[in-house]
Amino acid sequence: MLHGIDMASYYVALRRVRRCFKNFTQTGYLIVRNHIFPRETLAISQEDMKKTLVFGGAVVVLLIVGALWSRQLQTRDPSILSRSGLHWHPTLQIYVRGERVDIPKNIGLGSRHKPVHTHDDLPIIHLEFSGIVREKDAMLGRFFESWDRDMRSLGKNVRMTVNGVDNTEYEQYIMRDKDVIELHYD
C-alpha cells in the first residue's frame, strides 16, 4: 500500500502518465482524459516568462519594503514599553501622618479583570498586560483608577520616593518592575 493505494493501481496509473508524456514528446500533443492539448498551447514564451518573473519579483520586493517600513514606523513610537505584553511587580507603600495605610487586596479584580491590580501579596501591584503596552498604561495614576480613588484624596501634601529617590511625577510616574514606591502624606 502506498498512501492508501494498492501497488497494482499505482503502477497502472504510472504507466498511463508515462504513456501520456511519451505521446507528447513524439507527437507534440498531450492527451489527458480525451482532451488534446497541442504543444504550442502548453508552452510559455520567453517574453511571457520574463514578464511573469519581473512582476513576481516586484511583488516580493514591495512586500519586503512594506514590512520593513511598517516595522520602522512601529519602533519610532517612544511611548511603547512593550509590543508583546508585560508582567511587572512594583511595590507601593502609603503613609499618612507617619502611619502605614493598608492597600486592599484584589483591587481591580472582579467581573472585569483590570491589568493593574493587587492580589493578597501586598504591597505588590501587579501590572499584567498583553499586546502593546504604552507608558500611560503603566502610570501610577492607573493604579488609583483601578482602586477608584484619587491619589490626592489621602492628604494635602504628598512626597513621593521611587527606589529611595525623591520623585515629583506622582500620577504620571511610569512604574517599572521591582520599583519601590512610597507615598508620604502630611
Per-residue pLDDT reduced to its tens digit, 126-174: 999 999 999 999 999 999 999 999 999 998 899 999 999 999 999 999 9
Q: Are strands 116-117 and 126-129 parallel, antiparallel or unpaired?
A: antiparallel
Residue 153 to residues 33, 64, 171: CA-CA distances in angstroms? 85, 53, 12
85 and 163, same domain (yes or no) = yes
The residue segments making up the domain with residue 133 are 81-185
110 and 161, same domain (yes or no) = yes
Judge if pTM exceeds 0.95: no
Least confident interval from 14-18, 39-43, 65-69, 104-108: 39-43
> Which residues lie across from 165 on neighbouring strands?
162
Cell of 165: 529617590
Query: Based on the structure, what is the number of domains in the chain?
Result: 3
95 and 32, same domain (yes or no) = no
Closest C-alpha among 161, 147, 32 to residue 93: 161
50 and 36, same domain (yes or no) = no
118 and 163, same domain (yes or no) = yes
Which letter does DSSP use for residue 124 in this model? B
Q: Helix, strand or coil for residue 160? A: strand
